[in-house]
Chains A and B, each alone.
Chain A
Amino acid sequence: EAAVTQSPRNKVAVTGGKVTLSCNQTNNHNNMYWYRQDTGHGLRLIHYSYGAGSTEKGDIPDGYKASRPSQENFSLILELATPSQTSVYFCASGGWGQINERLFFGHGTKLSVL
């Protein structure tokens, strides 16, 4: 079974601080994604990647950066965290190029920015 591991599972940050959320997948998928999930908004795409060295902006990229240093790892970076970024963040991996198979999600990271 495909595996996507996120760390940390929970994080409390201070406003203005830097936060890095990490994601590792062992599926050898090219495509990786970062979503946030909020009540009333559902899942919204922040950044995604087609492979090592590539990052693409999703639907709500402002305030976030992404890094894909290798096939397995995809990070989401909040350089200056704000309370509005309090949310649950999900990483996912799936497919090669166009999605041609199921998407696999990590367990999520609950981030609180105080």
Chain B
Amino acid sequence: GQQVQQSPASLVLQEGENAELQCNFSTSLNSMQWFYQRPGGSLVSLFYNPSGTKHSGRLTSTTVIKERRSSLHISSSQTTDSGTYLCALERGGSNAKLTFGKGTKLSVKS
């Protein structure tokens, strides 16, 4: 089965609303990363977060290893936040092999 599952698959927000994106994994992990991808664009790293909570501007990432989940919180969303958010995990014992979820497509309306 799929080792990395993201939810929701898509999300539509009004500008100013908050978003909570989830990433659940079914295996042990060495690391977890979150990426942002603009339509037709490349991937930009948002967080490297193997455990705990990290902040960057309006973004917060929380990884709870025991519960096998990681979340990305976007506060006060803006139209420029629209795009796809992907999580990727390095499985325990796989040494540098990253597996991606299918992503959450976020659309923020003005």
> Interface of A with B (CB < 8 Å)?
31, 33, 35, 40-45, 48, 50, 56, 58-59, 90, 92, 95, 97-108
Contact = CB atoms under 8 A, between A and B. Distances in A.
Contacts of A100: 31
Given A101-B48, A102-B45, A106-B42, A42 B102 contact: yes
Interface in B30-86: 30-31, 33, 35, 41-45, 48, 86
Contact of A90 (B42, B99, B101, B103): B42
B98 A108 contact: no
Nearest to B89: A99
Interface of B: 30-31, 33, 35, 41-45, 48, 86, 88, 90, 95-103
30 contacts: A33-B98, A35-B100, A40-B102, A41-B102, A42-B100, A42-B101, A42-B103, A43-B43, A43-B86, A43-B88, A44-B100, A45-B99, A48-B96, A56-B97, A58-B97, A59-B99, A98-B31, A98-B96, A99-B33, A99-B48, A99-B98, A102-B45, A103-B43, A103-B88, A104-B45, A105-B35, A105-B43, A105-B44, A106-B42, A107-B41
Nearest to B45: A102
B45 A103 contact: yes
